[in-house]
Structure 1
């Protein structure tokens, strides 16, 4: 189910595929909730298509998107049926992509559910509890910021299955923790707990489970308190800083600040 918005998609198609998501919009804040707690919010290609559709349908008035999940775990990752010969009902078995002419296109379609969370006109926050494994870890990484519970356990298990993380999670992981630690986390598939997650920059803060929703809401409110265009410019500056030299980044700062000053003065930007 996707609710209360009816403009996103024909929800019956998603429900038939076992996709249960909730979308709530409150002015400039949108909240996306994974609603499959009995399966620890296991994911499927149908869920990824639903998430991509939500991203495409969000109105331009939305400034902050909060991603949360029901139950004890954020997401246990891809539904295990995907790794069986029969695959997930209604979906192409993953093994068939090895010889499919459109394999690259299919995976690119899967990735669309993970890419829009970092778009420049909004800030996204993942509120993560319990386990975030594989695709669940990558969905948390898709967001700009992460608030987690003190019992959280992140793990990237794809390599242990003979695969690679392919849902757009490798770049943000590397940017957050550096290449050596990213390789170690992915290569070993080990658990990364809350204390380490905060220490290495994977999570912004860790709180008791009972405080997760409030902590995420407080962070969203603090972001919404900043003027929208200033926040957009700041996010763009930080996102683009990686490949720039020190002097190039200084020049980008000057250009952004002059745009802000012109805007505040009522001049054309």
Structure 2
């Protein structure tokens, strides 16, 4: 489905679901409408038959500029009401995005162009992989407005760069470019801005070409291993590997591997 005029454009092709943030006038700010649209789209992804990968990108010059500062000034939208009401709105609204991206059964990629700041930066951190255009700029910028990350960014950032660097990025609110993000391990690739979509598509299609059952299990194993003790991670690995070893996907790939080897040896003796 390709919904040209919606806040989230959706396109499914070759097992890759592309979700494009599409609110250029606000820099894809995470107001109530965008929050609900993105959460709905990500939650729905797990129900799509044959899905292999999710690619999150923007249709405009910025990936996501975080919260809407005008709404903060007005005390409207996500920021309206009492402390308890705002807290519940964050938990039932913004946190839907966090939970949905974490619950994806397939790998996710964020293609970051322009600004990815505040909650927008944090959303990119929730994806399994990030690829950035050379024009990308990042910041855990909440302290600039007297805030903290209310969407879970501290949890993801600490696991990516370590507690000390996460603390520095949080307390300084400094902006950093794509090359710095690459050095920190926040992104895995940096490409020319005009090549970002092609590079992200190529990466997503490469991932989508992997054996689907094994790829889903590998995604879960890597995600969960970051949080588990070694004994627990070994138990998880053993269980997943046993299911794969006894499964049809693995057996078919082994047969194909052996057949290819036989064919190569035959060609070499001719």
**Shorter-normalised TM-score: what interval?**
0.7 to 0.9
Give the secondary-structure state (helix, strand or coil) at the position aligned to 1:76: coil
Deviation at 1:108, TM superposition (A): 1.1
Would you say the 8 A contact 1:115–1:168 is kept in 2?
Answer: no
Shift of 1:46: 1.5
Query: What is the aligned partner in structure 1 of residue 193 from structure 2?
Result: 209
Indicate the SS of the match to 2:74.
coil
- Note if 1:260 corresponds to 2:268: no
TM-score with structure 2 length normalisation? 0.84
Q: Does 1:31 align with 2:18?
A: yes
> Where does residue 96 of structure 1 map in the other structure?
81
Please report the RMSD computed on the Cα atoms of aligned residues, expressed in angstroms.
Answer: 2.2
Deviation at 1:120, TM superposition (A): 4.6
Unaligned runs of 5+ in 2: 252-270
CA distance in 2 between counterparts of 1:158 and 1:233 reads 35
Flag as ranges the 4+ runs of structure 1 deviating above 4 A.
Answer: none
Structure 2 partner of 1:66:
55
Q: Deviations over 1:185-237 (max 9, x none)?
A: 11111012111111111001100001101110111011111111101111121
Deviation at 1:262, TM superposition (A): 0.8
| 1:172-197 CA distance string (max 9 Å, x none) | 11111111111111111101211111
1:118 touches 1:124 (CA, 8 Å); kept in 2?
Answer: no
In terms of Rg, which structure is larger? Answer: 2
Q: What is the total number of aligned residue pairs between the two structures?
A: 247
1:189-208 matches, within 5 Å, as: 189-208=173-192
1:198 and 1:205 in contact (8 A); partners too? yes
Q: Which runs of 5 or more residues in structure 1 are unaligned?
A: 6-10
- C-alpha distance in structure 2 between counterparts of 1:120 and 1:39, whole Å: 27
Summarize deviations over 1:11-57 as a string: whole Å, max 9, x none. Answer: 9xxx8xxx722111225211111122233222212110111111232
